Amino acid sequence: MSSLSTFSLSTFLKQIRDKSLFDDSLLEVDKELPYGVFSDDPTHEDNIKASFNQLINNLALDNILPFAAKAYDNIALGKKLNGIHPLTTFGYFLSDEQRDKIYHIYDQSRCQTSLFNPYGWVFAYLRDESIKSHAYLLKIRHERGEIVPHLDEFAKKSSLDSVRLIEIINEKENENRYLDFIKYILDKKSLEAK
């Protein structure tokens, strides 16, 4: 990943167009934490939650200039939070305080390019990359047996259908099951269907 000492919208947009804004090092995890834990040091939990809040607030920006200006901070924050269990992350995303912002970030209409939203493609690309990285981390944890044992508790806390979550993640013939799992979680209709 390249880093810029000064913000440049044109450089940011070029990196998105040529897909060089993200690289595999963003998925490296220094230390993985178990489900329900934000930090191995309880005194740092508020700091981790503050990082989540900052990341969510930055990603919810609709104006491309401040959004792009925070892109490199967001990448660093995301990498810092990668070790947190995926269900802990999504549980926080779907908490009452964050849910509306998360739905806004991943909303399809925000990601459509139009006369009134000429940078919709930027939001779409970043949304898709975010979902792919979450799916990758979810896959690793699922293959180690660290997801299914927590799905009932996660579903209850998040007001989601645990049976549907288990069905999606256990569809072995579906190569997109991790993406589908995350899309299900991030879809407002999933809550309404329960």
**For 76-107, what is each residue's pLDDT tens digit?**
888 888 889 999 999 999 999 999 999 888 88
- What is the span of the domain harbouring residue 159? 9-14+26-193
Residue 21 covered by a domain: no
Cβ proximity of 83 and 31 under 8 Å: yes
Residue 19 covered by a domain: no
Calculated CA dihedral for residues 45, 52, 75, 67, nearest 10 degrees: -150
Structure tokens belonging to residue 85: 């269990």
Q: What's residue 2's pLDDT?
A: 43
Q: Tens digit of pLDDT for each residue in 126-167? A: 888 888 888 988 999 999 999 999 999 999 999 999 999 999
Residue 120 covered by a domain: yes
Structure tokens belonging to residue 179: 């993406």
Q: Tens digit of pLDDT for each residue in 40-63? A: 888 888 999 999 999 999 888 888
d(CA 163, CA 152): 8
Residue 128 covered by a domain: yes
Q: Which residues of 33-50 are buried (b: 16+ CB within 10 A; e: fewer)?
A: eebeebbeeeeeeeebbe
Say how many domains are in the chain: 1
Residue 3 covered by a domain: no
Residue 2 covered by a domain: no
Residue 1 covered by a domain: no
d(CA 126, CA 132): 10
Which residues, 6+ apart, have CB-to-CB distance to 123 below 8 Å?
67, 110, 111
Residue 20 covered by a domain: no
d(CA 166, CA 174): 13
Residue with tokens 């779907």: 94
